[in-house]
Amino acid sequence: MALIDTAGIHHVRLTVADLDRSSAFYQDILGFTIAIDQAGDPADPEVRTDPSRFYGGVVLQNRGTLLGLRPIADSADRFDSERVGLDHLSFSVSSIDELPAAARRLADTGIEHGEITEVTALGIAILSFSDPDGIHLELTAPLT
């Protein structure tokens, strides 16, 4: 038995170099809407350290998923999946038939993506791509 019985992931918050750019990406590409907007001047240390202002970020929602975006002071920093921390973030789609259409839409908007890959051991197929900060994202669909 687990020490703590969790019911699932409540939310994920990502640090981003350009809050406006990333917010637009997640809204335009993945259909999120703004639930809470506490964006402020990321150079203002009071904004970046105030949890009541969501550290100067926004909270996006899409169905039952909450995704927070928090600006960082050093906009030259980039995501690296080879460092300790986040490797990638995967979003569910309901059918494998949605993946080819998603790949076309990503390509049409100039977003590079990988091939659709079946992971039979997990019963899923994935389509990988990255957000504007290089954070690795996936669309994941059941094989059946």
CB 17 within 8 A of CB 133: yes
pLDDT tens per residue, range 82-100 = 887 888 999 999 999 999 9
Q: CA torsion sign, 48 to 53 to 57 to 62? A: positive
Mean pLDDT of the chain: 89
Predicted pLDDT at 42: 64
Choose between 88 and 74: higher pLDDT: 88
The structure's pTM equals 0.86
Predicted pLDDT at 10: 84
**Which domains are assigned to the chain?**
1-75 (3.10.180.10), 87-144 (3.10.180.10)
